[in-house]
Homo-oligomer: A and B are copies of this chain.
Amino acid sequence: MAQPLRRTTEAPQATRDACIAAAHALLDEVGPEQLSLRAVARGAGVSSMAPYRHFESKEALLAELARQGFAELGASVREGCPNGVHLVDFDQFRAMAECYVAFAERRPALYRLMFSGVISDHRAHEALWRDSRWSFEVVIAAIEVLQKDGRFREGRAIELALHVWSVMHGFVSLELDRLMGGRGSMVERFRPHIDLLLHGLCSPTE
C-alpha cells in the first residue's frame, strides 16, 4: 500500500509538533548556541531519543525551526505590500523594509538561528533553502516593479536586491550583537538607513 500510515488514537506527529514547540520556547529562552536537543526532549515531555524518530539530527530540527522562521519572515515582508508586489510604491517598499526589521525584533533568537553557523549549509536542507529564497524573492520582485516605473536605477534587479538585503541583514545583525548603541525600537532606528538605502537605489537623474 502506498498510502501513508496514520495512528488514529493520537494526533499524527504529535511528538514532532511538541518538539518543535518546545524548541521554539527554548530558543527564545537560551539562544541558538545554548539550545540542547535533550532539553528540547525534556520540554516536550518525551525521552532524549524520541526526537530522532522525527528528525535526522539536531541540525535537522534546527533547520526546520529556521525554515519556519524564513516562512514567517517572508510573510512579514509581504505584509508591507498588502495590494501585491506588482503594485508596490515607494512607501510600501519602505514598509517592507520595516517589516523585515520588525520580524527580527519580534524573534531575535530565531533570526540569529536562521543566519548563524549552527546550520552549516542552508542548501543541504531543501525545504530551508526553498523558503529562504521565497522570503527573498519578494524583494527582487518589488525592485523590478520600481525599476519599470523609472524610480530605481537600471541594472540587474537581483544585484540591487542583494544590496537591500545586505543593508537590512547587516543592520539587524549588528543590532542583535549589540554592536550599535541607541535607544528606542530597532524599527525606529532603522528608518534613517532606509532613506540612505533608497537614495542609493534611485535613478541618478532623480
Number of interface residues of A (CB under 8 A): 40
Identical chains in the assembly = 2
Interface of A is mostly: helix
Contacting A170 at CB < 8 Å: which of B116, B166, B200, B204?
A: B166
- Among residues 157 to 194 in chain A, which have CB atoms less than 8 Å away from a CB atom of chain B? 159-160, 162-163, 165-171, 173-174, 177-180, 192-193
- Cross-chain contact A132 with B199 (CB below 8 angstroms): no
- Among residues 105 to 151 in chain A, which have CB atoms less than 8 Å away from a CB atom of chain B? 112, 115-118, 120-123, 132
Which B residues lie within 8 Å of A95 (CB)? none
- Cross-chain contact A163 with B132 (CB below 8 angstroms): no
Shortest CB distance A143–B (Å): 12
A-B pairs with lowest CB-CB distance, top 9 = A170-B170, A200-B200, A166-B170, A166-B171, A169-B170, A196-B200, A199-B200, A163-B196, A33-B117
